[in-house]
Amino acid sequence: MLESLFGTINKENVLLYVYARGEGYPRGVAKFFATDLRSIQNQFENLEAGGVLYSRMVGNTRLYAFNPDCPYLPELKALLEKSLAMYPENERELLEVGRRRPA
């Protein structure tokens, strides 16, 4: 839905996943959306370089979350909330629940 705004479906998927779960890691996003891991890693890296996300290490896994210092974070979250509300209920529930930490 937001691919035209964000440039790629993978960037949209990363942002929606992190928004719905509060944090995420590349392998989890790639597995959830059944897509290429390297493409997802690139999106996480680009979003972190742009100041939208930040990361921290938990064991051997790099977890990403929204950067609270991002100046347009409230607007981005509002857009993601609206987009998530348009997803079919079963897909939205799958995205919002599940494991919240790396495997």
**Fold of the domain spanning 3-84:** Arc Repressor Mutant, subunit A (1.10.10)
> How do residues 52-86 score in pLDDT, each as one tens digit?
999 999 999 999 999 999 999 999 999 999 988 88
HEC profile for the chain?
Answer: CCHHHHCCHHHHHHHHHHHHHCCECHHHHHHHHCCCHHHHHHHHHHHHHCCCEEEEEECCEEEEEECCCCCCHHHHHHHHHHHHHCCCHHHHHHHHCCCCCCC
Q: Where are the domains positioned within the chain? A: 3-84
For residue 1, pLDDT beyond 90: no
pLDDT in tens, 2-27: 555 667 889 989 999 999 999 999 99
Q: How confident is the model at residue 96 (pLDDT cuts 50, 70, 90)?
A: confident
Tens digits of residue pLDDT in 31-47: 999 999 999 999 999 99
